[in-house]
Amino acid sequence: MRPVFFHNRPTAQEAIAMYVVLGFAALVALVSGLYLSAYGRPAGAALLAAATLVLAIH
């Protein structure tokens, strides 16, 4: 079931919460990516790329 969110414009509070959650998730992925790539794990580079993309769009 799609949330009501998609039918109406999000309220300011919903929009702020969404950006905070997205930003926090991207930062966690960025730190994980840096940590993993420092140890030469291929997953680290993928996480790093994904987090950078999300933060750039964000």
Return per-residue pLDDT of the chain as tens, 58 residues: 556 556 667 788 888 888 888 888 888 888 887 877 777 777 777 877 888 877 777 6
Write b or e for each residue in 20-55: b if 16 or more Cβ atoms lie within 10 A of its Cβ, otherwise e.
eeeeeebeebbebbeebbeeeeeebeebbeebeebe
Alpha carbon distance 11, 9 (integer Å) = 6
- Split into its structural domains, the chain has a count of 1
16, part of any domain: yes
Give the range of the structural domain holding residue 18, as residue numbers without chain letter. Answer: 10-57
19, part of any domain: yes
4, part of any domain: no
3, part of any domain: no
2, part of any domain: no
51, part of any domain: yes
Q: Give the per-residue pLDDT at 6.
A: 60
